[in-house]
Amino acid sequence: MPLNDLIAANAIMPTLRVANKKQALQEISEKAAQVSGLPAREIFDALLQRERLGSTGVGGGIAIPHGKLARVGRIFGIFARLERPIDYEALDGEPVDLIFLLIAPESAGADHLKSLSRIARALRDPKLTARLRATRDASGLYLLLTQSSAPHAA
């Protein structure tokens, strides 16, 4: 399932080097600020607030941190491929090396949940995640995410 309406070519971090979850969220918040024009601190605070409810590490080395902000015009994402997996307090206890951040307007409601579901479904495809892990350039990662032919399983 292509994610081209959720992510832009300039929203890819192909070789993010971080030591822990907090640092990963800070760096990704900085990138989201560049892409959206919103303050990085506002994005970071929204992500931390969500993480307090429970880890967004969904298993299989994947995390989908997300948050809602009042000043966001539309739903958007940032994708990061980590150079080395980090402890993310994931549900399965495994370290995380693929992170797809999703930021939505406060009013997004069902669209926010649908977008999270689409990301989770796409990243559940082992062929796609293997290719994402093997690709080290932003354009290649962007192509995989936006032109993936992940199965439309229910």
Angle of helix 110-123 relative to helix 126-134, nearest 10 degrees, comes to: 80
- CB 65, CB 25: distance < 8 Å: yes
Helix (H, G, I), strand (E, B) or coil at 96: strand
> Which parts of the chain fold into alpha helices (H)?
21-36, 40-51, 110-123, 126-134, 138-146
- CB 57, CB 63: distance < 8 Å: yes
Any idea of the CA torsion for 111, 27, 121, 97, to the nearest 10 degrees? -170
- CB 101, CB 47: distance < 8 Å: yes
**Average pLDDT for the chain:** 92
- As a whole number, mean pLDDT of residues 130-145 equals 96
- As a whole number, mean pLDDT of residues 9-27 equals 97
- As a whole number, mean pLDDT of residues 24-29 equals 98
Report, at the CATH architecture level, how domain 7-146 is classified. Answer: 3-Layer(aba) Sandwich (3.40)
pLDDT band at 148 (very low <50, low <70, confident <90, very high): low
Catalytic residues: 66
Helix (H, G, I), strand (E, B) or coil at 114: helix
Predicted TM-score of the model (pTM):
0.93
- CB 36, CB 75: distance < 8 Å: no
CA distance 99 to 20: 13
pLDDT band at 39 (very low <50, low <70, confident <90, very high): very high
- CB 128, CB 153: distance < 8 Å: no
Helix (H, G, I), strand (E, B) or coil at 66: strand
